[in-house]
Amino acid sequence: MLGKIIDYYTIKNQVFIVFETKKIIATIIDDGICNFKEEETSSFAVDVNGFIFDYINPVVEKIDNAIKITHGRYKYVINDNFILSIYFDDVLISSDISYYNNKTNEFIDNSLLEAEGHAVNIEEEYKYIISKKINSNDCLYGLGDKTGFLNKRGYEYDMWNTDDPAPHVDSFKALYKSIPFFIVFNKSYSYGYFFDNTYKSNFNMAKNNSEVVSIGFTDGPLNYYFIGGNNLKDVVSNYTYITGRMDMPKRFTLGYHQSRWSYSTKDEVIKLVDNFKKYDIPLECVHLDIDYMDGYRVFTVNDERFSDFKNFTEEMKNKGVKLVTIIDPGVKVDSNYDVYNYIVKNKLVATENNEVYVNSVWPGESVYPSFIDPKLRTYWGELDGKMLDLGVSGIWNDMNEPASFNGPLPSKVEFSDGNRIHYHDEVHNIYGHYMAKATYEGMKKHNNERPFVITRACYAGTQKYSTVWTGDNHSIWSHLQMAIPQICNLGLSGFAFAGCDVGGFSSDATKELLIRWAELGAITPLFRNHSAMGTKRQEPWQFDDETISIYRKAVKLRYELIPYYYDLFFEAANTGIPAFRAVVLEYPEDSNTYEINDEVMLGANILASPVVEQGKRNKLVYLPSGTNWYDYYSYDKFEPGYHIYDAPLDKLPLFVKEGAIIPKYPNYESLDDPKNIIFEIYPGDGTYIHYQDNGVDFNYEEGEYNIYEISHIDGNIRIDLSYNGYKLYDKIYIKYKNNIQEYKEIGTILKIE
């Protein structure tokens, strides 16, 4: 217990509250953003620690035994024992039940459960637990890509990055990522809490008490953020203001990716690429899993399987295909291996009892680099740069929970940051985060192009460095169904560039499952087919001609929509709002959207309702209120509400908001240098902003990009241009229904019928 409030004082935008046992600092960062932490607390997720501003001057006063802090529309009332109440426009929206230490556990005899073979959950000892009251109609979103449905109310989760190959079901408490951020939402208010603590923690989302959310931490300091906003989008945007936002991606990364564990020879890759061309299926990237390496030594290439690797990558680029290579953290114990020798000699690895710590992963006995050490990250980044020199276009970080084959890493394994020692129980959840940071910074420094990094494990803020995917899913329908709320909650948790293994990684995909998953993949930000060795291969020609035809249709739909998605990533880079959006994010006033798990908004203008059940050839679709909707393919008009929509095997149900303007590429164009654009007009007046840059480097941060503003009023189309140095499209077309016209002169009116 913190005890009574003894005193308080203010410095700039910080309020120092002195309790009997410790001091808490409340930092007002902006209207509706406040950080509460113990003194001398730093962050692994937030690059700008402190947010100390001269211009923010909260009003602070003592009322009875409480401290009241007022800024803008928010009031924070802090009572003895750090019991916090928060008001928005004088309405109480959040209140603490308790803040207390908990070092005792009730002993339960689990012997009977164990005797019958049931897994027994061992109760954790928590250093402290914070319990916050919620209202009966609040929805709880976020927490990254946990299993289950969009609304997390009534469930319980752990923050402990975990590699578990078993089929992920709703009862799983932990997966590969730890994003300790959740949103409380109802029609009257929205706010979030980000608990910036990397130790193992438990989030009880009103599971035991329907009106209480309890968060317990096994160790670490108190450090959390209240994040408010006028609406749900504000909360997401404010959270990413704190933890960071993605860069614009390289444009090619929005194309189609093909992977398998493993395409293990260059001849196999060449045949794969030739088959995609043979069957007229666009392909942008091939991912090489661990078998491209020499004995699974990272940053090596097997010369027998991939001879003359640099020429091979150039050959692939000439075919229009980039290569992405996997890099795991485990470094093989091998005295003839330069990477091993360097990091051990320079003490850049994990240790235990003053000895180099060794566990086992793919190479066999392996050591674990200390990614929290800047010197290690610099060295690792230089190695990533050498992969770029070989022609590689992206780096895929895997096994970085960190995974291990000979039991988990002990809690007291030591990682040095170059100045002091951190134990594994503190570093575990940020291990993948700092590996992604090392990779990102090394690639960016090497050629100043936008890095393409993909990581399995991460922490809050990793979105600044890396794309993510949901890990080792299975080829089962429940995992196809779960992918939609998983990716939506990742988006609500700051990760705008996310996807899942199309077709499923483990188990065997059926024809129908693969097709329906490809249709979902066509609209997820990362579109990658990936499967494990020993499973049925998932290239579409492994099935039949119908599969090839429908798969081709889904991939070409994706390429058609890439300029629209690229615009959405421009929005994400500037606001943090994801492209793949829970429907509630766009329609918070419509209570029917609060628990939609099988539909998604693509930006503000397109609603997708993928078929995620076997045998279904129609779909019950809900179209949100407040606007009419149009069939993406036929322009048929739909009013808001529920509809039964015909969805044969080759059709992904898509609906476009009234008045929308959708940019598309005509047919399949090279993503390296798209030369033409189509703006498709749907019924109703509207405007649209389209973004254009070179798709490769960071020149856009210096203003080298073009903005097109397209307006449609009473059948009159006008395009205005803000030209900022990047070359314009060769041709611009306007499409309305089946009529396509060339728009020849910027700033003029084009009439459509």
For position 99, what pLDDT does the model report?
66
**Distance (Å, rounded) from C-alpha 547 to C-alpha 539?**
10
Q: Kindly state the tokens that stand for 20.
A: 């009997």
Check residues 129 and 107 and name the one with the higher pLDDT.
129
For position 104, what pLDDT does the model report?
40
**Distance (Å, rounded) from C-alpha 289 to C-alpha 312?**
16
Q: Which ranges of 470-544 would DSSP assign to H, the alpha helix?
A: 477-492, 511-521
In eight-state DSSP terms, residue 589 is: T
Beta strand segments in 564-713, E: 580-581, 600-602, 606-608, 618-623, 629-631, 637-638, 641-646, 654-657, 661-664, 676-681, 686-692, 706-713
For position 460, what pLDDT does the model report?
98
Check residues 677 and 120 and name the one with the higher pLDDT.
677
pLDDT in tens, 713-732: 999 999 999 988 788 999 99
Number of other residues whose CB lies within 10 A of the CB of residue 740: 12
**Distance (Å, rounded) from C-alpha 404 to C-alpha 120?**
22
For position 108, what pLDDT does the model report?
43
**Distance (Å, rounded) from C-alpha 81 to C-alpha 83?**
6
105 confidence band (pLDDT: 50, 70, 90): very low
pLDDT above 90 for 103: no
- Are 322 and 394 contacting, i.e. CB atoms less than 8 angstroms apart? yes
For position 667, what pLDDT does the model report?
81
Q: To the nearest whole percent, how much of the chain has pLDDT over 90?
A: 92
pTM equals: 0.96
pLDDT above 70 for 733: yes
Length of the chain in terms of residues written: 753
42 confidence band (pLDDT: 50, 70, 90): confident
Check residues 1 and 734 and name the one with the higher pLDDT.
734
Number of other residues whose CB lies within 10 A of the CB of residue 63: 8
The mean of the pLDDT values for the chain is 95
Q: Kindly state the tokens that stand for 386.
A: 């050498």
Q: Kindly state the tokens that stand for 461.
A: 């803020």
Least confident of 93-107, 247-261, 463-477, 590-604: 93-107
Active-site residue set? 398, 401, 472
Across residues 679-689, what is the average pLDDT? 97
pLDDT in tens, 181-231: 999 999 999 999 999 999 999 999 999 999 999 999 999 999 999 999 999
**Taking Cα atoms as reference points, which of 475, 482, 538, 470 lies closest to residue 261?**
538
For position 701, what pLDDT does the model report?
95
For position 312, what pLDDT does the model report?
98
Residue written as token pair 């203008």 = 605
pLDDT above 60 for 101: no
Across residues 353-369, what is the average pLDDT? 98
Across residues 442-458, what is the average pLDDT? 97
Rounded to the nearest 5 degrees, what angle is found at the Cα of 486, between the Cα atoms of 211 and 658? 95
Q: How distant, in Å, are the alpha carbons of 33, 469, 687 from that of 534?
A: 50, 21, 51
For position 124, what pLDDT does the model report?
77
pLDDT in tens, 609-648: 999 999 999 999 999 999 999 999 999 999 999 999 999 9
**Taking Cα atoms as reference points, which of 612, 613, 631, 732 lies closest to residue 678?**
732
pLDDT in tens, 414-423: 999 999 999 9
For position 114, what pLDDT does the model report?
61
pLDDT above 80 for 106: no
**Distance (Å, rounded) from C-alpha 249 to C-alpha 244?**
15
User: Under 8 Å CB-to-CB from 253, ≥6 apart: which residues?
Assistant: 284, 285, 394, 452, 467, 526
